[in-house]
Amino acid sequence: MQMKELMVRSIYCEMLGYEASFSYIHAIKLAQQGTVLEKRVGYLAVSLFLNESHELLLLLVNTVLKDLQSTNLIEVCMALTVVSQMFPKDMIPAILPLVEEKLNHPKEIIRRKAVLALYKFYLIAPNQVQHIHNKFRKALCDKDPGVMTASLHIYLQMIQENPDAYKDLTPSFVTILKQVVGGKLPMDFNYHTVPAPWLQIQLLRILALLGKNDQSYFI
33 three-class SS:
helix
pLDDT at 161: 87
pLDDT of residue 115: 92
Number of domains in the chain: 1
The residue range of the domain holding 146 is 132-211
In a domain, residue 151? The reply is yes
Q: What is the distance between the alpha carbons of residues 147 and 139, in angstroms, rounded to a whole number?
A: 6
Assess if residue 189 is contained within a domain. Answer: yes
145 falls within a domain: yes
62 falls within a domain = no
Q: Is residue 163 part of a domain?
A: yes
Which pLDDT score is estimated for 217?
53
Task: Look at residue 196 and tell me if it is in a domain.
Answer: yes
In a domain, 9, yes or no: no
Q: Which amino acid is at 162?
A: N
| Regions in the chain scoring below 70 on pLDDT | 1, 213-219
HSE value, Cβ hemisphere, 13 Å, CA-based, for 212 = 13
191 pairs with which residues across the strands?
194
CB 11 within 8 A of CB 27: no
Residue 17 makes CB contacts below 8 A (sequence gap 6+) with none
Give a yes or no: residue 140 inside a domain.
yes
Q: Provide the pLDDT for residue 215.
A: 63
